[in-house]
Amino acid sequence: MDQVRYKCDCGGLIEIIHSPQTWQKIKRAKFDERKTSRRPEDISGVWRFREAILPGVNDWVCHPEGRTGFYKRKKLSDYAELENLYCKHEGENPTGSFKDRGMTVAITQAKALGMQTVACASTGNTSASLASYAAHAGLKAVVFLPDGKVASGKLAQALGYGATCLAIKGDFDAAMNLVQKAASEVGVYMVNSLNPFRPEGQKTIIWEALQDLNWQAPDWFVFPGGNLGNTSAFGKALREAHAAGWIDRLPRLATVQAAGANPFYNSFRNKFQSLEPVTAETIATAIRIGNPVNFSKARHAITSTNGLVIQVDDAEIIEAKKQIDMSGIGCEPASACSLAGVKQLRSSGEIKESDTVVAILTGHMLKDPDCIMQNYGEENLHVVDATLEAVAKYL
């Protein structure tokens, strides 16, 4: 707990293991009780589970975060041909993406370690979240972004919250390499999902969804995969919840990749024998990642939950996003992989008609307004004269 460390002696990533005493002390009912409290750390959808995240800490950098919406919409059920389809909307976090759940933990830990400067590489959302939590904690934030490939809402957030933004002339994978060098050689504290405290916070996406379902385990969780931090955190969340007896069976995980950024999908098809990095290209810039750093942990998450990895192309992503937007919920392009993935898994029969499925919507609609304008928003926009006659035909 008092060391700056990202890697294990074996060269793999560090994973936090909570002690058996921790699990014995935790009562699931306590989490439910806290939902009615007014203390920020109780209503936070992350710190509500604090004993199983960072036990013993009580100086949280908390907004609060989490406690996101859990939606069931007929329009989306019809689209995916699945009655029991729920959407957990992580775009409703304080900075508009699930990243806040891991960031509150990583920045709490950065403060406890006495770090001055925190840094990350990002396709956009991590940088917005880091910038916000660093501002909250009074730390200096430096973010490494792929130049020209970050959606406008996300870049504006990172700049607005006051982070130093470095637009790297290269892709996300190059930025990721660079921040790792900066962490080991210059000593900035790196809060990418390589940092073992980030996934601890991201576990609560699953735990809160289980709580939303009154601890009745669904059959599936379906969500997008880029750097695979969520995939690995979700596997850990489910294994821990099952071992602790909070749920009586393990749901299956389905990671959905964009077809143009699909190294994990290729590896899955190849029985996970290796991971071949790809040069990534997709409209879903959040997951435009060719060499995911969490591969080994994510592989374990899929194999330990009898999970699957699938891919969807950009046209499927846009179509699913349009459905989510027009259901009144809205999300950013990468998040729509979840619905596109559910639809595909229903057509292939992997998801059964009677299954209960939770699709994770990872980011807010306003993160990437250009995607809407360039693909279907213009259909609804009409420039008219300022007369009743001109507007009447649209009413």
Sheet order of strands, 220-224 included: 69-71, 85-89, 357-361, 220-224, 252-258, 308-312
Q: Which stretch binds ligand F0G (CB under 6 A): 79-87, 221-229, 238-246, 383-391?
A: 221-229
For CA atoms 298, 300, 302, 305, give the dihedral sign. negative
Choice between 222 and 286, CB closer to ligand F0G: 286
How many CB atoms within 10 Å of residue 389?
Answer: 8
Contact 280, 260 (CB under 8 A): yes
Q: Which residues of 143-181 are buried (b: 16+ CB within 10 A; e: fewer)?
A: bbbbeebbbebbbebbeebebebbebeebbbebbbbbbe
Q: Is 208 in the site for ligand F0G (CB under 6 A)?
A: no
Q: Which residues pair with 155 in a beta bridge?
A: none
Q: Is 225 in the site for ligand F0G (CB under 6 A)?
A: yes
Please report how close the Cβ of residue 255 comes to ligand F0G at its closest, in angstroms: 8
User: What part of residues 359-388 is at the interface with ligand F0G (CB under 6 A)?
Assistant: 362-363
Choice between 43 and 158, CB closer to ligand F0G: 158
Choice between 26 and 338, CB closer to ligand F0G: 338
Q: Where does residue 54 rank: exposed (0-12), middle (13-18), buried (19+ CB within 10 A)? A: buried
Number of residues this chain uses to bind ligand F0G (CB under 6 A)? 23
Residue of the chain from 191, 312, 334, 339 that contacts ligand F0G (CB under 6 A): 334
Q: Is 224 in the site for ligand F0G (CB under 6 A)?
A: yes
Residue of the chain from 62, 130, 168, 228 that contacts ligand F0G (CB under 6 A): 228
Please report how close the Cβ of residue 246 comes to ligand F0G at its closest, in angstroms: 23
Q: Which stretch binds ligand F0G (CB under 6 A): 34-42, 46-54, 224-232, 309-317?
A: 224-232
Token couple for 176: 């990721």
Q: Is 123 in the site for ligand F0G (CB under 6 A)?
A: yes
Give SS3 for 221. Answer: strand
Which residues lie below 8 Å from residue 273, measured CB to CB, with a gap of 6+? 267
Choice between 231 and 267, CB closer to ligand F0G: 231
Q: Which stretch binds ligand F0G (CB under 6 A): 41-49, 106-114, 123-131, 381-389?
A: 123-131
Contact 17, 236 (CB under 8 A): no
Please report how close the Cβ of residue 324 comes to ligand F0G at its closest, in angstroms: 13
Q: Rounded to the nearest 5°, which phi and psi values hold at 361? A: -95, 115
Q: What angle do CA 369, 372, 373 make, to 5 degrees?
A: 90
Residue of the chain from 94, 146, 153, 229 that contacts ligand F0G (CB under 6 A): 229
Please report how close the Cβ of residue 52 comes to ligand F0G at its closest, in angstroms: 20
Q: Which residues bind ligand F0G (CB under 6 A)?
A: 97, 99, 122-126, 193, 224-231, 286-287, 332, 334-335, 362-363
